[in-house]
Amino acid sequence: MGAPTIGLNFGTHDAAAAIVIDGAVVAAAEEERFTRAKQTKVFPTRAIEYCLSEAGIDIADVDDVAFFVDPTLQLLMPLFNWYHGFPASLGSMASDLNKYHKRRRELAAIRTAGRLRRTTTITPVRHHLAHAASAYLTSPFDESLVVTIDGRGEYETAAIFEGRNGRLRLRHSVTYPHSIGYLYSMATRYLGFRPQRDEYKVMGLAGYGGNSFYERVAKLATFDDRTGRLRLNLSYFDHHRRPSSDRKLFSNELASLLGRPRLPDEPISDRHREIASAIQHLTEDLVSRYVLFAQRLVPSRSLCLAGGVALNGVANAKVIESGRFDSVYVQPAANDAGASLGAALAVASQRVASPVRRSMTNAFLGPAFDDAEIEKALLAANLAGYSITTVPDRYKAAASLLARDLIVGWFQGRMEFGPRALGARSILANPSKASTTARVNALIKRREMFRPLAPAVMAEHAAEYFALHDAGRLVYPFMLATAQVLATQRDRIPAVVHVDGSARVQTVSARDNPIMWNVIEQFRQLTGLPVVLNTSFNGADEPIVCTPADAVRTFLACGLDALLIGDYLAIRREQKE
């Protein structure tokens, strides 16, 4: 076995740890799954413990630890902010310098908090390089264009890399305070949601709007196709001129342009829907133009995407459908959680003359649990009124329940890494009734009714239901791009069709995701439909479940009809056949 490298992300949202051995990602997990505090920033102690256990090693065996950001480069942020935003940027100078000192303290704390040997090397990795490595070094491409887009790293907000023979070379970057990620986060807060957490709500809401606000929203940012220069119209923003603790992200001038911002508990109006649509379209335009500019710098027909903005499935679809690329790949934990994985890969690849690269074909990098742990969780819970049995075939049992229109908690195998539930920690339902959408959103997940639910479809039948593009074949398995549902099939699977006719598709193959494929195949044999509704197994504002105890607790709290956990079935007695 080669030398293990641990990658860490903490001090910002989506704290996580990953471990890489011989170029392979052996384990990776977000700390939130263990602490149950969504998007926690704390040092990922439990995620590290899990990664070491999965790898079968002790912390004393680790020679290299990689950190997802380089604190020294953080000093450039106030300088760039000063250059672009002076004199308004004076208001954030102290806050920006504090971020530098905070990162320095975090780097220094790793050795103590991680109980590392004195000889263990701790290497800070440039943030956008960590994102780029997370995608390129897990892709199947020997040479590729690599584009990273997020809110902000140390001082860069987007970057272009050339990937070749396992090495990455920076070719271009966009610097703070100009940022596509901050643009979207600003709009998220303006629309009454939480930035860096609820951006997907804006994406879902956008499908209900039109283009009446586009001309006004287009004033928020410009892009020069010749130079790749992105510029926010900073008069509408305040992230560059206020300390972090006092930021709204938007300025008072934005109200003059778009009207009064929405309060969090205020009803959503047509104006809010129109603004969400305009913001989404502007984001798609900026992302597409930056990617096309990148392709002129790095003329490749292969593209890797990473960074938080790469979780915008609608923008990803525009890139996939552009015809400019033969193949696109998005690392499934494209957000900052995935930067832990990328940092580890970047450092590990630098330690060898010829990096060994292994493609990531699934995201099942988290913990699994045995029957004894499942039994313990079931026995500890108050399951009066429920029948608990073992089933001879979990796939047939799940399919039978779904065919009866029951909503099922599905807990099997290793947990997913990244924000999407892909069939290990999922809530599954029959997609053939439109009323299922309302039941899952309102009664079970207790979330907004405008948010769409995703289909998981057998890969060999996907083209019968969705207008997929071959360039997206590596993206669709991770549920990271939308596609139009064929008009002839929308009435057959209405629960997973968004208002605009789209769906965030997950294609499921028997090779890469056999557990989920077997469920859908059994459901197809019963109903003729090779599609199930798949959403994450969690309650409102909770992380996806990790342990059997989490699953049982969430099953009871959400009012699911049944829980299939390993070979155990828990079901309400009145639902049992």
- Tens-binned pLDDT, residue by residue, of the chain (577 aa): 678 999 999 999 999 999 999 989 999 999 999 999 999 999 999 999 999 999 999 999 999 999 999 999 988 888 887 777 777 777 788 887 888 888 889 988 899 988 898 899 999 999 999 999 999 999 999 999 999 999 999 999 999 999 999 999 999 999 999 999 999 999 999 999 999 999 999 999 999 999 999 999 999 999 999 999 999 999 999 988 887 778 899 999 999 999 999 999 999 999 999 999 999 999 999 999 999 999 999 999 999 999 999 999 999 999 999 999 999 999 999 999 999 999 999 999 998 877 778 999 999 999 999 999 999 999 988 787 889 999 999 999 999 999 999 999 999 999 999 999 999 999 999 999 999 998 998 878 788 888 999 999 999 999 999 999 999 999 999 999 999 999 999 999 999 999 999 999 999 999 999 999 999 999 999 999 999 999 999 998 999 999 999 999 999 999 899 999 999 999 988 777 6
Greatest C-alpha distance within the chain: 71
Q: Can you give the pLDDT at residue 1? A: 62
117, two tokens:
């040997």
Residue 534: closest CA among 542, 550, 526, 523:
523
Contact 359, 537 (CB under 8 A): no
- Coarse DSSP helix, strand, coil percentages of the chain, rounded to the nearest 5 percent: 40, 20, 40
192, two tokens:
């009454």
In one letter, which amino acid is 472? G
SS3 26: strand
246, two tokens:
């006092």
Rounded Cα distance, 477 and 78, in Å: 40
Which secondary-structure segment (H or E) carries 486? none
Q: Can you give the pLDDT at residue 574? A: 74
Contact 139, 359 (CB under 8 A): yes
Residue 271: closest CA among 329, 209, 332:
209
**Strand order from edge to edge, sheet including 24-30:** 24-30, 16-21, 5-9, 64-67, 121-124
Residue 33: closest CA among 312, 337, 311:
337
Rounded Cα distance, 302 and 181, in Å: 23
SS3 267: coil
Neighbours of 57 (CB within 10 A): 17
400, two tokens:
């039978």
* Domains of the chain as residue ranges with CATH: 5-75+87-137+334-350 (3.30.420.40), 174-330 (3.30.420.40), 371-575 (3.90.870.20)
Question: What pTM was estimated for this model as a whole?
Answer: 0.96
Which secondary-structure segment (H or E) carries 164? strand 156-164
Inter-helix orientation angle 336-350/127-136, to 10°: 80
Rounded Cα distance, 287 and 119, in Å: 43
Computed over its alpha carbons, how large is the radius of gyration of the chain? 23
198, two tokens:
């609820």
272-to-140, 212, 277, 442 alpha-carbon distances in Å: 41, 11, 9, 21
Residue 429: closest CA among 560, 309, 316:
560
Q: Can you give the pLDDT at residue 86? A: 77
Residue 281: closest CA among 320, 328, 321, 314:
314
SS3 102: helix
Q: Can you give the pLDDT at residue 433? A: 94
* DSSP label at residue 412: -
End-to-end C-alpha distance for the chain, whole angstroms: 51
* DSSP label at residue 440: I
